[in-house]
Amino acid sequence: MGHAYTPGLKVSDAAEFIRIRLLPIPGEVLVKQGDTVEPDTVVARALLPGNVVTSNFARQMGVAAADLDDLLLVKMGTEVQEGQPVARSKGIFGLMKQTINAPTTGILESVSKVSGQAIFREAPIPVDVKAYVGGTVSTVEDTFGVHVDSRGTMVQGIFGIGPEVSGPIAMASDDPARVLLPADVKPEHKGSILVGGSLARLDTLRACIEQGVAALIVGGIDAADLKDLLGYDLGVAITGNEDVGLTVVVTEGFGELAMSGKTHKLLGAAAGQSASVSGATQIRAGVMRPEVLVPSEIHQIEETEVDTGLMHINSTIRIIRDPHFGELGRVTDLPAEPHKLDTEAAVRILTVALKSGEHVTLPRANVELVDERL
């Protein structure tokens, strides 16, 4: 068999990326087709109903719920301020009146004549969707959002954490195999997309947070350091919502792994340019990769093996399971017939030549395509 299909990581300086930006509920689209947008451009906005605050008027004033209409000082549907008098009892002979103040700022939405419960609705909560990446609005989905088209450098990582951010690319290390140290993170890196080397330990991650780095792109990370940073074990959940003050994209895997030469070179060539970064990762069905996107003027799109998913002899792969986790290699053989493993399972295999010169035979599920030539 001369070829096979397998997923992979896109690393290219001539990629096209279309990002769909949608609201969770119907709202208003603020841009139109053909508009040019920047990462921070708000493209759509919706208003979520405000929080509800309740207050039992009847119980507080010691009156029947049916009598509350005559005791209200404001009409239902009126906007009130926190602490404003909204109801008052008649008292006894005009004395000992009980006044109820609004518990929050908002709208007095209703007062039940059965339970005596008053409902206040706080101000609507705006939900904004930003463009995330600089580009052109190609499609408008009425009341929900847009599609943003762009071209340029695209680097996908193997794992990441943290939300979408943007900023200028800054190189923290000229050596993709060097461990990144806290001293490499400088005050001038505040708000930047910092590109490091083979590993960022916990002290380096914390240095990035202290210096206000927007995102860190690094070859490897230690699983124990990640757990200490987050304060919990991630497990197999979808990442991207972590609130630690830093987005991290790991390009190679867990441990001290030199960043791919092609990845380091492409990001180095884009130093100073604005990049959009997402740490969102999902490794199960509906695979989602963390990414670094650097828009630029590209006239010809490059289609790579990763785009087609077509693996053949001489394809470059990364091993994604032990043994040899994280190592790059070149495919030397793709046998057609399934091979029986020690577990008695029959699977399709491949033979890979590692950088060290060693040849290993692996299940095809243990590798992924990489946009790099060895």
**Residue 118 corresponds to which amino acid?**
A
pLDDT confidence band for 278 (50 / 70 / 90): very high
Among 141, 125, 116, 128, which Cα is nearest to 55's? 116
Average pLDDT, the chain: 91
Q: What pLDDT, on a 0 to 100 scale, did the predictor assign at position 1?
A: 43
Q: What pLDDT, on a 0 to 100 scale, did the predictor assign at position 288?
A: 86
Q: What pLDDT, on a 0 to 100 scale, did the predictor assign at position 282?
A: 85
53 token code pair:
């605050």
Percentage of the chain with pLDDT > 70? 95
Strand-pair partners of 167: 275
73 token code pair:
């000082």
CA distances from 24 to 21, 28, 46, 47 (A): 10, 12, 8, 10
Residues 6+ away with beta carbon under 8 Å from 198? 176, 177, 178, 179, 180, 218, 219, 220, 252, 256, 257, 258, 259
CA 319, CA 4: separation in Å to the nearest integer?
16
CA 229, CA 327: separation in Å to the nearest integer?
26
Q: What is the pLDDT of residues 70-129, one digit of tens each?
A: 999 999 999 999 999 999 998 776 667 889 999 999 999 999 999 999 999 999 999 999
